[in-house]
């Protein structure tokens, strides 16, 4: 079978959202199938695709639409996806947010014209992701004709079906962990200062790091002995530096950049703080829980499906700074329980992420019967 995969993620050399399609692609190659991926240029150049290439995978690179290419695409004169079309895949699988297959018109035209199976991996969703009746109507028709839609959380799946007012061929599978740990990491001890970490893109529209900084800027938090390290990369790095300076947190908060080795982060950090506005199921949360670290999260996407409030960590009802501050206060008051909660977090993640996820993912996608258009 010839399987074509299109990732719509851009502006990053790699992201946690890429792990699921890579797992599927690698499993398909191991089973003797042919796989080609179309990814934006920074991802195409990433070392993360070395094993995929060694197994015989084909990589096509493309760039975001600009003013000129948008015009030619809208007139049907140009498509970034011609290399994949000429490769003649039997199944086309896209990975990314739900509305991109409609908004990127050359992708939309490719998917509508494709006569084989169509599969969609939805890596995140939020109320604002799908807007306007024309968009809803087009996506409803496209997704109802899918062979399979993979959502990484029940929250995302239920929201997508409400947004499109339609029952869709959805399967729910969690994002994979890159390296599965058999035991949690040793607890860092009662180090001073207490060390928090946030792992996620520097993208405040979805990750809300600026609101977390606002929550930590209160006078009561400035009297406490803590440090926050922000790991990641992205377009809002300069803005976050400005926010840190604005709130006078320069001696407590640092931007540490992207760190591939998640165990390096959690060897010496006590608590994960992930105050997102839009999520699927954060790979960073799965990783910190496998390391045996509790977390403070917002009730977003599948994060609150995985992490249980007051057992594996603390759930904030929203991303408003005052609401985040309330959850942080609960966490601080219960910090003597963090080690115990971290052990519970490891057990929860270990049970949540199936060991046979590669096989389940392949079978869910490739053993499905195509839906009637």
User: Does residue 367 have a pLDDT over 90?
Assistant: no
User: Does residue 370 have a pLDDT over 60?
Assistant: no
Give the residue extent of every domain in the chain: 2-176+354-366, 194-352
SS3 of 121, please? strand
- Do the Cβ atoms of 21 and 365 come closer than 8 Å? no
- Do the Cβ atoms of 318 and 299 come closer than 8 Å? yes
Q: Is 236 left (phi over 0), alpha (psi -120 to 50) or beta?
A: alpha
**Token pair listed for 256:** 């540490």
CATH of domain 194-352: 3.40.50.2000
Instruction: Calculate helix-pair angle for 18-30, 357-366, nearest 10 degrees.
Output: 80
Look-up: residue for tokens 């207490």? 194
Rg (CA), the chain: 21
- Provide CB contacts within 8 A for 133, sequence distance 6+: none
Q: What is the pLDDT of residues 163-186, one digit of tens each?
A: 999 999 999 999 999 899 999 999
Mean pLDDT (the chain) is 94
- d(C-alpha 168, C-alpha 52), whole Å: 31
Output the CA–CA distances (angstroms, integers) from residue 95 to 8, 53, 120, in the order listed. Answer: 6, 19, 6
Q: What is the pLDDT of residues 98-145, one digit of tens each?
A: 999 999 999 999 999 999 999 999 999 999 999 999 999 999 999 999
Q: What is the pLDDT of residues 214-266, one digit of tens each?
A: 999 999 999 999 999 999 988 999 999 999 999 999 999 999 999 989 999 99
Fold entry, domain 2-176+354-366: Rossmann fold (3.40.50)
pLDDT at 368: 61
User: Does residue 373 have a pLDDT over 70?
Assistant: no
Q: What is the pLDDT of residues 13-44, one digit of tens each?
A: 888 889 999 999 999 999 999 999 999 999 99
SS3 of 297, please? strand
pLDDT at 33: 97
CA geometry: angle 113, 116, 120, nearest 5 deg:
85
pLDDT at 22: 96
DSSP 185: P
pLDDT at 192: 83
**Phi and psi at residue 157, to the nearest 5°:** -65, -45
CATH topology of 2-176+354-366 equal to that of 194-352? yes
- d(C-alpha 10, C-alpha 201), whole Å: 12
Calculate the dihedral angle through the C-alpha atoms of 331, 335, 339, 341, rounding to the nearest 10 degrees.
-30
- Provide CB contacts within 8 A for 244, sequence distance 6+: 213, 250, 253, 255
Least confident of 6-15, 171-180, 196-205: 6-15
Beta bridge partners of 315: 297
Strands 313-316 and 295-298 turn out to be: parallel
Mean pLDDT over 293-315 rounds to 96
- d(C-alpha 255, C-alpha 92), whole Å: 38
pLDDT at 193: 93
């Amino acid at each position: 079978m010839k399987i074509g995969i299109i990732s719509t993620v851009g502006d990053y050399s790699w992201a946690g959202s890429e792990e699921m399609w890579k797992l599927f692609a690698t499993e398909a190659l191991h089973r003797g199938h042919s796989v080609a991926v179309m990814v934006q240029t920074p991802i195409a150049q990433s070392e993360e695709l070395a094993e995929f290439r060694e197994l015989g995978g084909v990589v096509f690179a493309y760039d975001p639409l600009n003013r000129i290419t948008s015009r030619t695409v809208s007139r049907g004169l140009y498509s970034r996806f011609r290399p994949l079309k000429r490769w003649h895949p039997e199944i086309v699988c896209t990975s990314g947010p739900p509305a991109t297959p409609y908004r990127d018109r050359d992708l939309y035209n490719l998917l509508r014209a494709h006569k084989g199976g169509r599969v969609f991996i939805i890596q995140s969703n939020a109320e604002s992701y799908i807007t306007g009746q024309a968009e809803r109507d087009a996506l409803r028709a496209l997704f109802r004709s899918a062979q399979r839609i993979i959502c990484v959380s029940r929250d995302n799946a239920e929201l997508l079906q409400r947004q499109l007012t339609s029952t869709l061929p959805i399967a729910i599978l969690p994002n994979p962990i890159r390296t599965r740990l058999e035991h949690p990491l040793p607890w860092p001890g009662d180090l001073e200062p207490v060390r928090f970490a946030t792992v996620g893109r520097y993208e405040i529209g979805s990750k809300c790091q600026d609101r977390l900084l606002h929550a930590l800027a209160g006078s009561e938090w400035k009297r406490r002995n803590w440090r926050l390290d922000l790991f990641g990369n992205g377009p809002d790095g300069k803005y976050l530096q400005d926010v840190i300076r604005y709130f006078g947190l320069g001696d407590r908060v640092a931007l540490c950049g992207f760190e591939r080795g998640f165990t390096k982060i959690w060897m010496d950090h006590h608590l994960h703080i992930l105050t997102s506005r839009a999520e699927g199921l954060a790979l960073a949360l799965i990783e910190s829980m496998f390391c045996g670290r509790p977390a403070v999260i917002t009730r977003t996407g599948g994060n609150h499906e995985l992490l249980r409030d007051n057992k594996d960590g603390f759930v904030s009802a929203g991303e408003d700074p005052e609401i985040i501050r309330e959850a942080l206060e609960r966490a601080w008051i219960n910090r003597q329980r963090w080690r115990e909660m971290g052990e519970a977090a490891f057990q929860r993640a270990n049970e949540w992420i199936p060991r046979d996820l590669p096989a389940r993912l392949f079978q869910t996608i490739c053993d499905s019967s195509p839906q009637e258009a």
